[in-house]
A = this chain, B = another copy of it.
């Protein structure tokens, strides 16, 4: 419980409302001895932030992390690491009207029903602004995973509306504002997004994240399965409506003779499993895809209900993304990294006495949907 914490051993607790004084997190259980400075957070936070291109919300998030604890002379000490970001450029008056309305497709009504009270400014706690701290916490996890295990976590936009990548080139992903893996399509996407924004409507997206270098053995059967925790992690992201691992929903129509990944002493011959069997990593790439719904914050009017139960017309005038999926890749990466970090610590807790296990089958091929 305590719904605002994530992870069992590498445990992240986030707090803060979109338009409150600050957002922040506490990372407990972090291994000591990791070099960490405020600058380490800049790159990933900038990738997630709004206000960088015309394709995302105009709210300018200049998220400067302050490290409040847990770091001494530039290294983690094993005590809780608290990170803080003061909220700036929060125009709460944009939201005055919606304080008395429930916006369709939003959490307004459900928070109201659950708590009997809500902070309506910018969506309050239900705002995607909360994901800033996921990205921040995962910076620490990524550093440890890379240094200790050579794990690399990255992601890309695998679909936007009806558009899917025609090619896959990791080097293209960071070179455009869509985390799109095919440079040749960027112009087409720009036009697509411009038209969408002009229409006042929005569209969904799919993000794929990949972890390379994960050793076999991570994951806790049966309820703490690696894929089960990844599913929860991804579905906890705002606007997520579906999660799949490896072949995912496409495996429904695969014959078993195709789906099962052939093993040879030289390596696996395919990776339909997405790097996980029986809830435990196989040593192949871990591949996860997440479906994001279209944002419901539109300037197109819609029927709604107000807090007195009356029918009202709802028009959202705040600053919003026409496709929330565009900024979701670093968030999905963050959740992937957090799950792996936590499972890595849990694995060595229970199985630290198990030495190198033979035979070890090499990972050779990327997974379904990998790119």
Which of A40-48, A49-57, A76-84, A170-178 lines the interface with chain B?
A: A76-84
Answer whether residue A234 sits at the interface, using C-beta atoms and an 8 A cutoff. yes
- Is A180 at the interface (CB under 8 A from chain B)? no
Which chain B residues lie closer than 8 Å to A148 at the CB level?
A: 353
A189-227 residues at the B interface, CB under 8 angstroms: 201-206, 216-225, 227
In this complex, the interface size class of chain A, counting residues with CB under 8 Å from chain B, is 35 or more
Q: Verify A262–B104 contact, CB threshold 8 A.
A: yes
* Chain B hits for A256, CB < 8 A: 105, 201-203, 293-298
Asked whether A114 and B217 contact (CB < 8 A) given A124-B79, A243-B242, A263-B303, the answer is yes
Contact A205–B112 (Cβ < 8 Å): no
Interface positions of A from 49 to 105, Cβ below 8 Å from B: 66-70, 72, 75, 77-82, 84, 102, 104-105
Interface string of A328-371 (1 = CB under 8 A from B): 00000000000000000111111111110111110000000000
Q: A104-B260, A109-B361 are in contact. Are A253 and B216 (CB under 8 A)?
A: no
Set of chain B residues within 8 Å of A72, measured between Cβ atoms: 17, 117-119, 124
8 residue pairs A–B, Cβ–Cβ below 8 Å = A1-B224, A15-B28, A17-B69, A102-B263, A113-B360, A203-B256, A227-B235, A243-B243
